[in-house]
Amino acid sequence: MQKFELRLDDIDFQSQESFKTLRFNVEFSGEKNQVFYITSTYPNEGKSTVSLT
């Protein structure tokens, strides 16, 4: 799995917690998983930002 660093000090608290939860879930989903789909209900909810980081 590729490592990256997310600077949480530049993000509001709710977004920080969302990224932490996402990271936790991805890390514990298993090593066999290679593809993740990122979807949302509405446009402009941050899918591109999440998938790039």
16: alpha, beta or left? (left if phi > 0; alpha if psi -120 to 50): alpha
What are residue 42's phi and psi, to 5 degrees?
-125, 155
CA 17 to chain centre: 10
| pLDDT on residue 52 | 62
In angstroms, the CA 10 to CA 15 distance is: 10
Q: Per-residue pLDDT tens, the chain, 53 aa: give them.
A: 566 666 656 778 888 888 888 888 888 888 887 777 778 888 887 777 677 65
Instruction: Note the pLDDT of residue 1.
Output: 58
The reported pLDDT for the residue numbered 33 is: 74
pTM of the model: 0.56
Contact (Cβ atoms closer than 8 angstroms) between residue 11 and residue 22: no
43 vs 35: CA distance, rounded Å: 22
